[in-house]
Structure 1
Amino acid sequence: MGFLRRVAGVSLRDKVRSSVIREGLGVEPLLLRIERSQLTLFRHLVRMPPGRLPREVFQLGRDQGWRDDISSLAWERLGIPQSELVDVARERNVWGSLLEPLPRRPDHG
C-alpha cells in the first residue's frame, strides 16, 4: 500500500482509505486476486487427464491439506458443497458463470 499511496500522491496523514486508493488506481485487492487464481488453477487441475504430473501432485496434496484449503475457498466464495466441487469444476460453462460474480479488475481501456 505504501507504493500505491506514493503513486496516488497521498500520505498517511491525508487519512484516505486503502480501498479508495486501490479503486482510484484500478488495482484489485491482492487477496481477491489470489483467490481467483486459486480457483482457476483448481479447475485447470481437475480437468487435466489422469497421469499428468501436476494433477498427481495435486491429488497427493490432499494428504497435506492444501487441496482442502482450495476446496474450502471455493465452497465459501461460490457456495458449492465440497462433495460436488470436482463435478462442477469439470463443467466449463457452469464454473465460468460461478466466477463471474467475483469482482474483476477494472478495465483501463
Structure 2
Amino acid sequence: MYSQSFEECIQACLECMKACNVCYDACLGEEDVKMMAECIRLDRECADICAYAAKALQSNSPFAKQICILCAEICEACGNECKKHDHGHCKRCAEACFMCAEECRKMAS
C-alpha cells in the first residue's frame, strides 16, 4: 500500500541517485582518478540500487522491503567511502547516501 513513507523513501532514493551520478562524473575528472576508483565504483553501484529501490516502491513490489535493506547497506558503504575524500561532490554524496540509508531502513522496518 502506497503511503507518505513510501514517498519520502522514493525522494531520498532519487536524490541519492542524483548525488551519486554527479559524484561519479566529478570523480572521473579528478587529477588522481586511480585514487578515486573505489568511490567511482560505489557511486555506480549506489545510483543503480537507488533507482531500482525507487522503482520497486513506486510499483509496490512484494520485494520492496528486501530491496530497501540492500539499498541501505550499499548507501552506507558509498557514504563511508565518499566521506574519506575532501571534494565537495563527495561530501554532498555522502550526506545523500546516509539520508537514503536512513529512509530505506525506516521503510524496511
TM-score, L = length of structure 2: 0.29
- Structure number with greater Rg is 1
Structure scoring higher RCO (CA < 8 A, sep ≥ 6) equals 2
Instruction: Compare the two structures and name the one with the higher helix fraction.
Output: 2
TM-score, L = length of structure 1: 0.29
